[in-house]
Amino acid sequence: MTLHTPKITGAQGRPVIRQLDEAAINRIAAGEVVERPASAVKELVENALDAGAARIQVDIADGGKTLIRVTDDGCGMTPEDLPLALSRHATSKIDGSDLLDIRSFGFRGEALPSLGAVGRLTITSRAEGEAAQIACEGSRMSPVKPAALTRGTVVELRDLFFATPARLKFLRSDRAELQAVTEVIRRLAMAEPLVGFTLRDVTGGEARTLFRADPASGDLFDALQSRLASVIGRDFTDNALRIDAEREGLRLQGYAALPTYSRGSSTQQYLFVNGRPVLDRMLYGALRAAYFDVLSRDRHPAAVLNLIADPQRVDVNVHPAKAEVRFREPDAARSLIITALKSALTGAGHRASSTVGAATLDAFRPEPARVYQMDRPSPASFARAFAFQAPEAFTGFAEAPQAAAFAPPREEKAQLHDEHPLGAARAQLHENYIVAQTATGIVLVDQHAAHERLVYERLKRQQAETGIRAQALLIPEIVELSPTDAARLLDAAPALAEVGLGIEPFGGNAVAIRETPAILGPVNGAALIRDILDELVDSGDSQLVRAKIDGILSRMACHGSVRSGRQMRPEEMNALLREMEATPLSGQCNHGRPTYVELSLHDIERLFGRR
């Protein structure tokens, strides 16, 4: 079926080229800048941030379709500025001399005229003198008039897309649009922890607060941690590692969660470049690569990371929505993310997320427990109770020995206050679970999962010391590729050689596979090459061969570790606990599941109604 488009023709039947009017140009531009109400909110709030606002309030009605109002306490605009603000490509953010030195959210000068083209827009603002107001409806501006406003700017957008009714048909339900607006505010609130944000739903004339984040105080990390606790939740901040790394002029800051705090989707992944929320496949791929050795494929890490770079090294002028960026040295950005996160995860040692213990406690509570108000006895009270409960001395027979009051052996008493993080082994349950006592509670260890991670890390250390052995193929395997794929694969040849995969050009668009990693055994070279190419296209780098090798090492570790069902002696159990404390990433098995659960004495006593 052919789609025939009507053309404007002249006398000779040729299509006629003509200049579109300003209203049509603005409506076309609005299609790129304003996709839905959330897009309009993003543009207006970013303008408020560029104006230096300390508090921003957003009111919306009917999911933003009938009303979007953004109020800020920024620097404001003069009456002379207002008509310019509604003119296309008029901006205070840049002077146009250097489009690679952009240090603000906005810079294109398209948002306000685009909104005025598809909706009923009113701007009220005050700088130094009196406040003024201007209105724009369907690209038609009204004269500037005096208004009442204490400070800052109020931008009110009503009846979004009234001038382009077809666009309204593509909007989703009010609830879905409201969720999209909320997510935009959440992301911007994480990017600017020192700014206060309020989002209200005023549908029906009754204001309902949907989101509120007061300005945080303290240094950057304290402010960000406080903001993340209110936006994402305290579970995240309690189980996240502080990231602050610098390399090759790039800096990465933020928080990344422990592997055992993994999610079932990528909804808790927030990436920023110079404070700008971005959706960049390369950056998300780097985040995934940093965790690939500690998470299974169906789990996703949680992180809030800001990559800081000289604006000259980042191009944010890729798309009018400004959600995509390009790096002058993408490999440096990717490498920084991977190395910084891996270093932080390794430095966390055996630590596992606190949510594991909370989930265990929930499993122990099949029904609400009756709580008794009791105080925990002091050590002196314990001693008196033990003495009272001891058997009395039997005096009926002269030869009967004096019965001693009950007291734990001296050696056992010393172990009760073992200062090791994972405590001292007390028992083995079902030939698989080690029960250890710490100074403040108990630890329950999955002996097979824990030893599997220990053996795996040992194998990786040995391989790092000796290198990955390559096996030469008697007959090189020739793989025909497209010119683009062949060039992309040969560019990655040095990196692939480091993991034992040797390739070289074989004339035309073919490559020859001459060596494969010995640990992989027989491989389908062509299938492996095409999988690597898919990964190169997706993320710009390939960890596929490395992941395959690590997968084999993981299976070797599984078969070489302590099996479930094996009885262990106390000294073996304690040796396992000590090695866990000294081994990075031992808090989770090779698939990201926790290797141990820690329960505090306080929580245990609550289970029995003693708290």
- Average pLDDT estimate for 487-510: 87
Residue 16 has pLDDT above 70, yes or no: yes
Q: Taking residues 224-245, what's their average pLDDT?
A: 94
Residue 317's pLDDT band, with cuts at 50, 70 and 90, is low
User: What tens digit of pLDDT does each residue of 43-96 get?
Assistant: 999 989 988 999 999 999 999 999 999 999 999 999 998 988 888 766 655 445
For residue 41, give both structure tokens: 């909110």
Q: What is the DSSP letter of 4?
A: P
Quote the distance between the C-alpha of residue 170 and its chain's center: 30
In angstroms, the Cα distances linking 329 to 249, 326, 486, 534, 535 are 11, 9, 22, 21, 19
Q: Please report which confidence band the pLDDT of residue 435 belongs to, taking 50, 70 and 90 as the band edges.
A: very high
**Residue 341 confidence (pLDDT) above 80:** yes
Q: What percent of the chain has pLDDT over 70?
A: 77
Q: Is residue 188 helix, strand or coil?
A: helix
| Backbone phi, psi, residue 48, to 5° | -65, -40
pLDDT in the model for residue 121:
94
How does DSSP classify residue 194? T
Pull the structure tokens for residue 181.
């607006």
- Asked if residues 261 and 592 have their Cβ atoms less than 8 Å apart, the reply is no
| C-alpha to C-alpha distance for 596 and 588, rounded to whole angstroms | 8
> Do the domains spanning 22-93+104-212 and 372-379+409-611 agree at the CATH topology level?
no
Domain 372-379+409-611 has CATH 3.30.1540.20: yes
Residue type (1 letter), 86: L
Maximum CA extent, the chain: 135
- Burial of 35 (C-beta count, 10 Å sphere; 0-12/13-18/19+): middle
Mean pLDDT of 441-452: 91
Higher pLDDT, 411 or 257: 257
- For domain 232-348, the CATH class is alpha beta
Pairing label, strands 303-308, 269-273: parallel
Give residue 416's pLDDT: 46
pLDDT in tens, 325-334: 888 888 899 9
Question: Confidence class of residue 550 from pLDDT cuts 50, 70 and 90?
Answer: confident
Q: Give the Å distances, CA to CA, from 356 to 239, 597, 609.
A: 10, 6, 21
Asked if residue 410 has pLDDT above 50, the reply is no
Mean predicted confidence (pLDDT) in 473-482: 92
Q: Which CATH class is domain 22-93+104-212?
A: alpha beta
Please enumerate in sequence order all residues whose Cβ is within 8 A of that of 355, keeping only pairs 6 or more positions apart, or say none: 235, 239, 260, 261
Q: Which residue has the higher pLDDT, 197 or 99?
A: 197
- Mean pLDDT value of segment 413-417: 47
Query: pLDDT tens, 91-142?
Result: 655 445 555 555 566 555 578 888 888 889 999 999 888 899 999 998 889 9
Sequence-ordered list of residues with C-beta below 8 angstroms from that of 6, at least 6 positions apart, any chain? none
Buried b (16+ CB within 10 A) or exposed e, 193-207: bebbbbbbbebeeee
549 pLDDT higher than 90: no
Spans of all domains in the chain: 22-93+104-212, 232-348, 372-379+409-611
How far is Cα 421 from Cα 577, in angstroms, rounded to an integer? Answer: 9
SS3 string, 58-81, reads EEEEHHHCCEEEEEECCCCCCCCH
pLDDT higher than threshold 80 for residue 567: yes
What pLDDT score does 470 carry? 84
User: Tens of pLDDT along 276-310?
Assistant: 898 888 899 899 989 888 887 788 999 999 999 98
Note the pLDDT of residue 559. Answer: 65
Whether the per-residue pLDDT at 560 is higher than 70: the answer is no
Residue 234 scores a pLDDT above 80: yes
Q: Residue 458: pLDDT above 90?
A: no
Percentage of the residues of the chain whose pLDDT score is greater than 90: 38
Say what the pLDDT of residue 252 is. 96
Range picked from 175-179, 469-473, 482-486 for highest mean pLDDT: 175-179
pLDDT of 396 strictly over 50: no
Average pLDDT, the chain: 81
How confident is residue 26, by pLDDT bands cut at 50, 70 and 90?
Answer: low
The pLDDT of residue 185 is above 90: yes
Q: Please report which confidence band the pLDDT of residue 372 belongs to, taking 50, 70 and 90 as the band edges.
A: very low
In sequence order, the 6+-apart residues with CB closer than 8 A to the CB of 554 are 452, 456, 590
Higher pLDDT, 536 or 83: 83
What is the C-alpha to C-alpha distance for residues 341 and 242, in angstroms, rounded to an integer?
A: 10
Give the C-alpha separation, 48 to 227, whole Å: 19
The answer to whether the beta carbons of residues 281 and 323 sit under 8 Å apart is: no
Give Cα 498 distance to the centre of its chain: 30
Q: Which of 27-41, 117-131, 431-445 has the lowest mean pLDDT?
A: 27-41
